[in-house]
Amino acid sequence: MDGEKEVQWRDSSLEDIKAFPDEAKIEAGYQLGRVQNVLDPENFKWFKTVGSEVKEIRIKQTDSIF
């Protein structure tokens, strides 16, 4: 997609997502796609200790939040 922003992985973040259950990986990919296209994730909280515009994407699967 033209104009899509690049995901910049930090530390173990890519490996962490790869370890998610399949359903959570699919949801993470969808939410990252939203962010890459300048949309807010559907469920997030501000992560101001990292940066003023940083959003933590929240993914809920059954009883766990990833």
pLDDT of amino acid 44: 95
Mean pLDDT, 10 residues at a time, over the chain (66 residues)? 83 95 94 95 93 89 65
Encoded amino acid at 55, one letter: K
Closest-CA residue to 42 (of 53, 52, 32, 54) = 32
**Bridge partner residues of 46 (DSSP):** 55
Q: Token digits for 44?
A: 């997030």
pLDDT of amino acid 1: 52
pLDDT of amino acid 53: 86
Cβ partners under 8 Å of residue 29, min gap 6: none
